[in-house]
Amino acid sequence: MDVLVTGGSGFVGCHLVGRLLEHGYHVRTTVRSTANTAKVAPLRALQDDHPGRLELFEADLLSDGSFDEAVKGCEVVFHVASPFFMPEKIKDGQRDMVEPALAGTRNVIASIERTPSVHRLVLTSTVGAIFGDYADVRAMEGQVLTEAYFNTTSTVENNPYHYAKTVAEQAAREAEKGQSRWRMVAVNPGLVLGPSLTPASESGSLFLLEELFKGYFFYGAPDFSFTTADVRDVADAHIAAAEKPDAHGRYIVAAETMTSFHDMARIIRTRYPRDLRLPRTRLPHWPVRILGPAFGLTQDYIRGHLGIRFRVDNSRTVKELGIVYRPVEETLLDHYEAWREQRKK
């Protein structure tokens, strides 16, 4: 089977391409520029390992018809490409987040509409399309995160990444309803962690952990927690969503319990006890509230996230997609060791 992965040079995309090749697929993938040797080097290595089964195409999320050539003859499209930056890194929410996510999704779907061979779209969404701020989960039944909800609180100004992914997923759902040839399945991962194959990746999840590893929080870990997902589990969930005929709707891919900065540091110190950059204590809430804005965190963001934890219902991915989640300890240690290796290089 021929399949297309958009954004193959990204953190998730590169893992997905590799797993698809291991499963025997003929894979096409898009990148912004094949001339960016650092970004495409892992894909070139996969081409060498799987001769004749991986093709690279250039495509621009904002350019109409840009994906037409890449999608020709494909039966499944995995639309992974979409930028993810942490809030403090976003300068213009509309330009940096919403336009690539929404226009990109529409352009990929337009190419699918022009390609009769495609019968399934697997869309990489996020748990952020289910809630805006963590505080939103408190209004959900049992204060448990499930696939039943859509984010209604994020805006371009307040959490533009979550807003962008929400409107992109909704646009894809509307397009699916307007026809009967192809079916869409959404994969909604938490914060994606694990070993990166792409040293040039700009993924926000990699940036966030790099702040922790470099010692930004050595004085104490702020009480922020995350729904976490191993990048390898995320890739496997995409493939299962494409292969299983009954897969439908959206699937949360995340550990059942959240992981805090303090938890992350504690886990990594079990193997690297002498790393003085890792925090050993939790910060009280008051200094975070006072100093957070100096680090790009608004008071609204702090109020909606600091100290808040909730349970995640990931049962659909377990029962319907057959995902066996890796322990978060394995994910974090692999993430940290891959980061150390890339720093050495």
- pLDDT confidence of residue 345: 73
What residues pair up with 76 in beta bridges, in sequence order?
3, 120
307 lies in which domain range?
Answer: 2-344
Q: What is the CATH number of the domain that holds 210?
A: 3.40.50.720
- pLDDT confidence of residue 87: 62
pLDDT, mean of each 10-residue run, the chain (345 residues) = 95 97 97 91 96 96 94 98 68 79 95 98 97 95 96 89 93 96 97 86 73 90 96 98 97 98 96 92 95 85 94 98 97 93 81
- pLDDT confidence of residue 166: 95
Domains contained in the chain, number? 1
- The whole-model pTM stands at 0.94
